[in-house]
Chain A
Amino acid sequence: MKLNKILTTAAMALGLATTAMAEEPTKVGFVYVGPVGDGGWTYEHDQGRLAVEEEFGDKVETVYVESVPEGPDAERVMTQMALDGADLIFTTSFGFMDPTVNVAKKFPNVKFEHATGYKRAENLSTYGARFYEGRAVLGHIAGSMTESNIVGYIGSYPIPEVIRGINSAFIHAREANPDVEFKIIWAYTWFDPAKEADAAKVLIEQGADVIFQHTDSTAPQAAAQNAGDVITFGQASDMAEYKPKPRVSSIIDNWAPYYIERVRAVMEGTWESTDTWGGIASGMVEIGEITDVVPDDVKAEALAIKDSIASGEYHPFTGPINKQDGSQWLAEGETADDGTLLGMDFYVEGLTGKIPQ
C-alpha cells in the first residue's frame, strides 16, 4: 500500500518532469566573424546575445561560433547550428549573405537574420544600422579638429556600408573644414590587429592626425596613442579604454533591443521576414561620450547634428551633392533614398582615389 503510494507519487513527479522538459527553451544561434573579445563589432553582437539571455533566462538557450571565415565554411557552421535544433540564427557579417541564403533554403522551419545584407526570403530577415548617421557626427569633429587637414580612413572591404560611411564622414568633415583631404586604405580584412595597426601607422606617417577605422579591432587606437598627437573614434563599440585621447568619441552599435524583440517574436510565433534599418532615432546607433579633448563649441555643434538627425529634421545625405566625377547626385534640398544608400558604390565629389571593384 505504502509502496504503491510512493510509486504513484514517483510516476506523477516523473510525468511533471517530462511535461517540463517538453517545453524546450528557444534555441538561438549567433555566427560571428571575429572573436567575441575583439573590443569592437563582434563584442557588441555578443553583448546583444547576453542581453537576450538575461531577458528570457531559462526560456532561451543561446549558442555562438566566433571567428567564422566569410565563405563556404560559414555555410557549414550555420548548417550545423540548424541541425542542432536552433530556432533562430543571427549571422552577423556582410560576407555571410550568400551562405545564409543557401542554408535558409535548406531549413525552411528555422528563422534566419542576416546583418547588413539585402537578400531576404520567407524565413530570412535582414537588419542593419545606419552607421552613416554616426559618421556624420564624427566627420564634423574630424574636420574641425584636424590641423594637418589630412584625415586617414581604414576601410575593410569596398562594400556599400563602408563606402556610405566614408562619404558621410567626408561630407561633414568638408562642411566643417573646406581644406580637408581623406587618405583611404583598404585593409581587406575585418579583423587583423597587426595589419590594422600597420595601416594606421602608415596613415599617420603620411600626415594624418585624425584616424577613422571601419575595421573591428582596437589596434588603430593603440597605434594612434603611441604616435601621440592623433585622434581616433571608437568603431562599433565605445572603445572607452582609449579615452580621453586618442579616442574622442565613438559610434556604438546597440543590438540588444532588436535581438530581444526578434527572439520574443519567435517565441510568440509572430516572427515575419522583415528589413530593419535603425539609426540614431531608434537607438540602434549611439554616439559615445565626446571627451574634453574636443573644444566645447565643436562638441556642441556635433551634438546639434546628432539631435537634428535623431529628430528626423536633417538627413546626412542632403543635396546639393555631386558624385566624384562631378555629375549631380542630389539636387539642392533633396535627400538620398534608402535604395541608393543600400547599394552605394560611388564616392562623392572631393574624395580622391578609386573604389576597388
Chain B
Amino acid sequence: MDFGSISPVLLLASLMVAATPLLLAATGELIVERSGVLNLGVEGMMITGAICGFATAVNTGSPLTGMAAAAGGGAALSLLFALLTQFALANQVASGLSLTLFGLGLSALMGQGYQGIKPPPFPEINIPLLSDLPFVGDILFSQDLMVYMGLLICGAVWVMLKYTRAGLILRAVGENHDAAHALGYNVVLIRVAAIMFGGACAGLGGAYISLIRVPQWTEGMTAGIGWIALALVVFASWKPGRVLLGAYLFGGVTVIQLNLQAAGVAIPVEYLAMSPYLITILVLVIMSADRSRAPGSLGRPFHASS
C-alpha cells in the first residue's frame, strides 16, 4: 500500500473532469423532466453530440466550434423526440428508447473515417490571480472551460427554477399541464424548448468525452453515461443542487477507486469497482428522505383538446 503515490491535487482535478459529462447531461435531463417529459434518449443524444462535436472540431480546428456543434447536434436529435411525443403524441418511453438506438447508429455512421484522429487540444483557462494560488489554484482555477460551463449551467438552472418566472412556468407545466394550459401557457412549446435544452446539454456532455476526457472518437464511447445521468436525476429528486452533488460524488468515487486500486489498497477490487454507484445512490437516497417527489405530469402526454 502506498498512499504517497496519490497526489490529492491531481485527484481533485481529475475528479472534476470525470464528473463534468455526467453533470451536463443530468442537468439537461432535469429541465426536461421538470417540464413533465421523460426522455430516455439521453445516451443517444450524448453520443450524437460526441461525434458532431468531434467531427466539427477536427474539420474547423476549433474545439469551441466543436462544442457549439455538439450542442446543436444534440438539440437537433432531441427535436425528433419532441416531434414524436409532443405533436404525434407517441409514447415517451418507447420514443426515448428508440432515440437512444437511433443516436447510437447514426453516430457510428457519422463517425466513419474519424477513428484514430486526434482532435485539436482544448485550451486550458488560467483565471488570472486565482490560478496562481498555492494548492487550490491548480485544482479549482486551471481547468478547461467546459468544467466551469458545467457548473455555470447547473447554477443557472437552479436560479432559474427557484427564483424566476420562467422557472415557475416550467414547473407549473411539469406539475399539472392541464392547469398550466388553462392559465394560457403554451404547454407544447414550453416542453419542446425544454427537450431541446436537454438535448443540447446532453450533446455537450458527449462532446466533453470525445474532445476532452478521452480524447478521440470511438463508436459507442459514451458507454452508458447517459443512463447514469437518467438515474441521477431521479435519485437527486429533480433538484439541481443534488444533481451537482451526485455527479461530483460519482465522478469523485470513480477516480478515487482507480487511484486506490493502482496504489494497491487492501480493499477487495470488486467493492471498489461498485463503490461509485453504491455511494452515490446511498447518499442521494438518504437525502431524498424529505419526501420529494416526481413532477406531477411526468411522462403523461398532453393534448389541448383533452
Which residues of B271-301 have CB atoms within 8 Å of chain A's CB atoms?
A: 273
Q: How far is the CA of A183 from the CA of B264 in the complex (A)?
A: 8
Q: Name the residue on A nearest B2 (C-beta).
A: A206
A39-B218, A206-B6, A218-B218 as given contacts; A356 in contact with B21, CB under 8 Å = no
Query: Are A194 and B209 in contact, with the CB atoms below 8 A?
Result: yes
Q: Name the residue on A nearest B5 (C-beta).
A: A206
Give every chain B residue within 8 A of A223 (Cβ-Cβ). Answer: 214
Contact of A192 among B14, B223, B269 (CB under 8 A): B223
Q: How far is the CA of A199 from the CA of B14 in the complex (A)?
A: 11
Query: Are B214 and A219 in contact, with the CB atoms below 8 A?
Result: yes
Give every chain A residue within 8 A of B64 (Cβ-Cβ). Answer: none
> Is A202's CB within 8 Å of the partner chain B?
yes
Contact with A along B15-42 (1 / 0, CB 8 A): 0001001000000000000000000000
> Is B151's CB within 8 Å of the partner chain A?
no
> Is B145's CB within 8 Å of the partner chain A?
no
> Is B115's CB within 8 Å of the partner chain A?
yes
Which residues of B116-175 have CB atoms within 8 Å of chain A's CB atoms?
A: 116-118
> Is A353's CB within 8 Å of the partner chain B?
yes
Most interface-central of B108, B261, B273 (chain A CB within 10 A): B261
Q: How far is the CA of A183 from the CA of B269 in the complex (A)?
A: 13
Query: Are A218 and B216 in contact, with the CB atoms below 8 A?
Result: yes
Contact with A along B74-110 (1 / 0, CB 8 A): 0000000000000000000000000000000000100
CB of A10 to closest CB in B, whole Å:
43
Query: Are B214 and A241 in contact, with the CB atoms below 8 A?
Result: no
Contact of B262 among A35, A152, A158, A197 (CB under 8 A): A152
Contact with B along A206-221 (1 / 0, CB 8 A): 1100000000011100
> Is A329's CB within 8 Å of the partner chain B?
no
Q: How far is the CA of A105 from the CA of B67 in the complex (A)?
A: 51
Interface size on A, residues (CB 8 A): 45
Interface size for chain B: under 10, 10 to 19, 20 to 34, or 35 or more residues? Answer: 35 or more
Give every chain A residue within 8 A of B273 (Cβ-Cβ). Answer: 186, 188
Contact with A along B188-224 (1 / 0, CB 8 A): 0000000000000000000001000111101111111
Q: How far is the CA of A56 from the CA of B259 in the complex (A)?
A: 50
Give every chain B residue within 8 A of A34 (Cβ-Cβ). Answer: 220
Q: Name the residue on B nearest A192 (C-beta).
A: B223
Give every chain B residue within 8 A of A353 (Cβ-Cβ). Answer: 264
Query: Are A202 and B259 in contact, with the CB atoms below 8 A?
Result: yes
Query: Are A241 and B262 in contact, with the CB atoms below 8 A?
Result: no
Query: Are A217 and B14 in contact, with the CB atoms below 8 A?
Result: no
Query: Are A193 and B221 in contact, with the CB atoms below 8 A?
Result: yes
> Is A281's CB within 8 Å of the partner chain B?
no
Can you list 29 pairs linking A and B with CB atoms under 8 Å apart? Answer: A37-B108, A38-B219, A39-B115, A39-B116, A158-B269, A183-B262, A184-B261, A185-B262, A188-B273, A192-B224, A194-B18, A194-B214, A194-B221, A194-B222, A197-B213, A197-B214, A198-B258, A202-B255, A206-B263, A207-B5, A218-B116, A219-B216, A219-B221, A222-B118, A223-B214, A239-B116, A240-B116, A242-B116, A354-B266
Q: Top 3 nearest A-B pairs by Cβ distance?
A: A241-B116, A35-B219, A37-B219
Interface residues of A (CB under 8 A from B): 34-39, 67, 152, 158, 183-186, 188-189, 191-195, 197-199, 201-203, 205-207, 217-219, 222-223, 225-226, 239-242, 352-354, 356-357
Further contacts, 17 of them, CB under 8 A, given A37-B112, A197-B213: A184-B261, A185-B262, A186-B261, A188-B270, A191-B220, A193-B209, A193-B221, A194-B18, A194-B209, A194-B221, A202-B258, A206-B259, A222-B118, A240-B116, A241-B117, A356-B269, A356-B270
Interface residues of B (CB under 8 A from A): 5-7, 10, 14, 18, 21, 108, 111-112, 115-118, 209, 213-216, 218-225, 254-255, 258-259, 261-264, 266, 268-270, 273
